[in-house]
Amino acid sequence: MVNHRLNGLNLKSLSSLSLDLAENAARLDPNKLAVIDYSWGSREVYTYLDIEKASSNIASVLEELGVGRGDRVSVLSYNSMEYLSIYMATIKKGAILAPLSWRASTKELTFMIDDIEPKVIFYHKDFENLLRRSLEISLHKPVQIDIEELRGLHRIELRKTYRKEILSEEDISMLLYTGGTTGGLKAAMIPYRQVLWNAINTVISWGLTSNDIAPIFFPFFHTGGWHVITIPLYMVRGTLVIVKKFEPDEAVEIIDRERCTVVIAVPTMFHMMARSPIFKEASFGSVRFFKSGGGMSPLSLVKTYWDKGARYFQGYGLTEAGPNLLYTPENTMRDKPMSVGKPGLFVQLRVVKEDGSEARPGEIGELQVRGPIVFSGYWRRPLETMEAITPDGWVRTGDLFMVDEDGYFYFVERKKFMIKTGGENVYPSEVEEAIRGHPGVEEVAVFGVPDPKWVEAVAAVIKPKMGYQISPEDIKAYLRDKIASYKIPKYIWIVEEVPKTAVGKVDYSYLKKKYSGMIGNA
């Protein structure tokens, strides 16, 4: 593990700091509005003292269940105040939050449960059947609790019948599943060091204050749900607006109704909001800026928000580093609309060419990240960790970048053609492997094509086995219980041959170029 230093400061000296976010905020500003929660069908409000009471009482529940330091606590649920309070409770107990994606297939969820072995899973009733099917297969049998049973705990006096753990910044705060920089489903270990320094970087770079109000459109099983705005804004005691899940009309209404000041979403979400029938009438007069992450916004989308008089800029980050790595100063947002900005505080970035040398301005190479805002490795995967982190602490992002003469960074392409659709990472090799399981498939190649709604869509070309008749509908039906729905190709072409390069490798560049112009003929 890398011992990070910053301006001569050994970051291990921070271990004496209190990491109890709920207790700290409640002590400083108990009656400040912390959360506006729409997730249960009505508008509910909670103060910072309410969150402290709820999380402390949940910590008592965890104590009764035998949850201790380092144990995993999973949640399979929509975003809610209760979900937020579970995380705050794990901090008190020294446990590790391990969110589970409700977009996962039964097979994927079973893999995650067996991988992280949570001691308890809090679940929303909408996903009870998904959880039941997974646990029927899983070798691990955790305690299961309906998250709705936690409602109202903020109205109960503090129980504090639990042993509070003393944590350091190198202790693991969360396990977040990601395709990772090396591909394949794995859990990134997010230490408190990364959580805190990313938050500090965000607060300073974005100028966040207790007056800021932000909607949370990213799900809590995604790094964007926690580290883009939730934890940074909680640390400065701003106000979080939680919704059950993203709905474009509701999102537009809430931004204006709650006078939101900072709005972060993936390009797909911004695209859907712009197509909402109420977008034209929305004022967005309270919004300081809109920030896009999880993929590049096309210039046409950026200009749509500019036309509303809004500040809109691109973002870039990943689960393993940041995720708030760069920031575009206000005075250059319109001059460099396709740039993701300059490195933020406490962030080292470099662009490395294939020969290992550092790229000069205008040259393309892989982006690498170093500093206190990087992860600690992949859970129980030392080899993948070694692939992702260099011996001197640089995280290989697997993404291709270019830097201009003014020091602004530009995202170019995803290395090895990783597909980013609707803010989610999709690795072609994983989808190809699933498709190859079909008895009628001889060869398959999966790649990304441009999509106006999702930024990129998953596409595939398939060569059938001799004597088999297969259709795109057959393949999609076959994949439904094997991989998450967003990974299933939107476009499928049945072909006689899968094109190869001169050395016999699948020619992904040719496929992407050819079929990007054939959308509508799949």
pLDDT of 6 reads 39
Quick check: 314 pLDDT over 70? Answer: yes
Per-residue pLDDT band for 145 (boundaries 50, 70, 90) equals very high
Cα–Cα distance measured from residue 83 to residue 153, given in angstroms and rounded to the nearest whole number: 12
Q: Are 23 and 52 in contact (CB under 8 A)?
A: yes
Helix residue ranges, H only, 65-212 = 81-93, 106-116, 128-137, 192-206
HSE-up of residue 375 (Cα within 13 Å, Cβ side): 32
How confident is the model over 72-92, as pLDDT tens digits?
999 999 999 999 999 999 999
pLDDT of 61 reads 95
Kindly state the percentage of the chain with pLDDT values over 90.
76
Per-residue pLDDT band for 10 (boundaries 50, 70, 90) equals very low
How confident is the model over 129-141, as pLDDT tens digits?
999 999 999 999 9
Quick check: 3 pLDDT over 70? Answer: no
How much is the pTM?
0.82
pLDDT of 73 reads 98
Per-residue pLDDT band for 521 (boundaries 50, 70, 90) equals low
Quick check: 120 pLDDT over 50? Answer: yes
pLDDT of 477 reads 96
Q: Which domains does the chain have, with CATH numbers?
A: 49-167 (3.40.50.980), 419-516 (3.30.300.30)
pLDDT of 400 reads 86
Contacts of residue 75, defined as CB under 8 A and 6 or more positions apart, other chains included, come to 83, 86, 97, 99, 100, 121, 122, 123, 147, 220, 221
pLDDT of 522 reads 55
pLDDT of 425 reads 80
How confident is the model over 95-114, as pLDDT tens digits?
999 999 998 899 999 999 99
HSE-up of residue 385 (Cα within 13 Å, Cβ side): 16
Contacts of residue 334, defined as CB under 8 A and 6 or more positions apart, other chains included, come to 306
Quick check: 2 pLDDT over 70? Answer: no
Contacts of residue 293, defined as CB under 8 A and 6 or more positions apart, other chains included, come to 224, 228, 264, 265, 266, 315, 316, 317, 323, 423
What secondary structure, in 3-state letters, does 143-163 show?
Answer: EEEEHHHHCCHHHCCCCCCCC
How confident is the model over 52-71, as pLDDT tens digits?
999 999 999 999 999 999 99
Quick check: 495 pLDDT over 70? Answer: yes
pLDDT of 4 reads 43
pLDDT of 207 reads 95
Region 191-197 average pLDDT: 97
At residue 28, the 3 state secondary structure works out as helix
Q: Within 10 A of 518 (CB to CB), how many other CB atoms are there?
A: 12
Q: Among residues 154, 140, 145, which one has the least CA distance to residue 76?
A: 145
Per-residue pLDDT band for 507 (boundaries 50, 70, 90) equals confident
Region 261-276 average pLDDT: 91
Q: Among residues 434, 416, 415, which one has the least CA distance to residue 487?
A: 434
pLDDT of 381 reads 96
pLDDT of 428 reads 82
Cα–Cα distance measured from residue 143 to residue 465, given in angstroms and rounded to the nearest whole number: 46
Cα–Cα distance measured from residue 412 to residue 428, given in angstroms and rounded to the nearest whole number: 18
pLDDT of 296 reads 79
Contacts of residue 408, defined as CB under 8 A and 6 or more positions apart, other chains included, come to 328, 332, 336, 339, 341, 342
pLDDT of 506 reads 77
pLDDT of 505 reads 63
Q: Among residues 35, 177, 161, which one has the least CA distance to residue 92?
A: 161
Minimum mean pLDDT range among 122-126, 135-139, 179-183: 179-183
Residue type, 337: P
Cα–Cα distance measured from residue 44 to residue 58, given in angstroms and rounded to the nearest whole number: 19
pLDDT of 11 reads 45
Chain mean pLDDT for the chain: 91
pLDDT of 12 reads 46
Minimum mean pLDDT range among 57-66, 197-206, 451-460: 451-460
How confident is the model over 347-399, as pLDDT tens digits?
999 999 989 999 999 998 999 999 999 999 999 999 999 999 999 999 999 98
Helix residue ranges, H only, 236-315 = 248-257, 267-274, 299-306
Helix residue ranges, H only, 94-145 = 106-116, 128-137
Minimum mean pLDDT range among 182-186, 234-238, 513-517: 182-186
Encoding tokens for residue 279?
Answer: 């977008």
- Distances in Å between the Cα of 414 and the Cα atoms of 364, 384, 417, 423, 504 are 12, 18, 5, 13, 22
pLDDT of 519 reads 75
Per-residue pLDDT band for 518 (boundaries 50, 70, 90) equals confident
Cα–Cα distance measured from residue 422 to residue 418, given in angstroms and rounded to the nearest whole number: 13
Per-residue pLDDT band for 17 (boundaries 50, 70, 90) equals low
pLDDT of 238 reads 98
